[in-house]
Every structure is written in C-alpha cells, then in structure tokens.
Amino acid sequence: MITKDQVLEIGSFVKDYLKESAASSDQEWVQSFPRAADHHWQHTLNVLANAEKILEGEGASEEQASVVRAAALLHDVSMFTCDHSIHGRVSSEIAEEYLRKHGYPDAFVQKVSKAVAEHGTDLGPIPPDEQGELFSWEGKVLLEADILDKLGASAVTNALLYLGKQGCLSHEVSRDLAAGSAFERADFFRDYIWTTTGRKLAEERFSFFLAFLARLKEEVVDVEIPTVG
Ligand SMILES: [Fe+2]
Ligand SMILES: [Fe+2]
C-alpha cells in the first residue's frame, strides 16, 4: 500500500516532469498550447479523482487502490515527449524507472506499469467487451477514470476553451460541440467502461453533455453574420 506522502511525491514528480518536458518540447502542438503542462496536470488530478470514485464504488482492496492511484498519476507523464500513439508505453517505462528507483516492490511496479501501458491501447480494432477481458482490473479502472474526463462538464469545458482560442461565436460552438471531435470522442469512448460504478458515472456525465448540447441549441440562434460590401 502506498501512503499519502508517496502519492504526493509521485504527483510532484509528474507535475515537474510535465512542466520541464513541455518547456523543452519541439512539437508544434505543445508550443502553441498555452499552459499545456498545467492543463495536463489538471487532467491528471481529474483522472485520480475519478479513479477514487470507482475504487470506492467497487469496494477495491488497498492493494488495488494503491496500484490505481500510482498509475493514475503516472499515466500521461510522457505526453510531451513522444508521439501520442506510443505515450502509454513510454509513460509505463518512465513509471517503472521512477518506482524502481524509489524502492517500490517488484510486484507493485509491474502492476502499475502494466496498467499505464494498457491505458494507451488503440481502442478501435477490438470490441469493448473483448478488450476488457484483455486488461488487468487496475488497467480497466485507470482507463475508465481517464475516459470519464472526456464525457461530462470537464469535456465540455475543455472543448469550449479550445473553441474560444479559435475565436468561435456561440452558434459555431453549438455546431462544433454537436458534430465535432469532443462529441465524437465522448460517444466513442463511453462504450469502453466495464465496472458498474464507472458505467453509472459515464452515463450521468454523457447525459449532461447531451443536455448541454440540447440547451445550447435551444438558446443560441444559428445565424451567419452578413458581410458588408
Ligand atoms: Fe493517455
Ligand atoms: Fe489521460
């Protein structure tokens, strides 16, 4: 079992790693993303909080909870250092190195790094039920906690922040949210939830997303501004 101090230590390592790797990244998307490291640290904390809800709802053991907490903190640590398609594997390597260096038991290190690697799996090719059978329990909880951050008010907020940066008007936001990547992502990922608690949370969050879209459509006039001349 990991202590609260160890959770804080791992968190501090991840926060610093994100900050330093974002500052030195030569990837264009990182450089053009204001406060990229802070946004990703916020996401990491959201995932940890989501994981806590699932752990409690599912009656996880302290051992399982410890693995999931460490994995939640470390899952996206490599976000600014590599291509997104391999960030699960690279994060799992960084997690393994950190945990070994700090003397964590071998079985614990292996479970954390496995869960972190699993969260980076390309989810398209295998149907959700079959995919779930391939994952460790801790890997499933981590992935669910990660996906929950793409489904509800947090997902809507992130989409609004992004669209605001593009200078979108409210009717354009309404259209984009309904047909754009935030909705597509939420609609796709909500099937990759396996625990009872995760499912309940996912349904609540996605319902909020849909209700927000419906309300926005009702309140915002879809009109193009006429050009002069
Ligand atoms: Fe990730
Ligand atoms: Fe993530």
State pLDDT tens for residues 52-63.
999 999 999 999
The rounded distance, in Å, linking the Cα atoms of 184 and 195 is 22
Over the chain, what is the mean pLDDT? Answer: 94
Total of domains in the chain: 2
Provide the domain limits for residue 39.
1-131
Q: Is the pLDDT of residue 228 over 70?
A: no
Query: Same domain for 113 and 26?
Result: yes
The DSSP symbol for 212 reads H
Q: Which of 45-49, 160-164, 184-188 tops mean pLDDT?
A: 45-49
pLDDT grade for 13, boundaries at 50, 70 and 90: very high
User: Which residue has better confidence, 64 or 125?
Assistant: 64
What average pLDDT does range 154-173 have in this prediction?
Answer: 90
CA of 143 to the centre of ligand 2 (A): 8
The rounded distance, in Å, linking the Cα atoms of 84 and 102 is 27
CA of 155 to the centre of ligand 2 (A): 12
CA of 87 to the centre of ligand 1 (A): 7
CA of 44 to the centre of ligand 2 (A): 6
Q: What is the pLDDT of residues 83-96, one digit of tens each?
A: 999 999 999 999 99
What average pLDDT does range 25-40 have in this prediction?
Answer: 92
Query: Same domain for 17 and 44?
Result: yes
Q: Is the pLDDT of residue 124 over 90?
A: no
Burial label for 13, CB within 10 Å (0-12, 13-18, 19+), is: middle
The residue among 51, 74, 48 whose CA lies nearest residue 201 is: 51
Query: Same domain for 154 and 102?
Result: no
Query: Same domain for 120 and 9?
Result: yes
DSSP string, 8-47: HHHHHHHHHHHHHHHHH---HHHHTSTTHHHHHHHHHHHH
What average pLDDT does range 36-50 have in this prediction?
Answer: 97
Query: Same domain for 17 and 102?
Result: yes
Domain final position from 104, 131, 158: 131
Contact between 204 and 148 under an 8 Å Cβ cutoff? The reply is: no
CA of 204 to the centre of ligand 2 (A): 20
CA of 218 to the centre of ligand 2 (A): 32
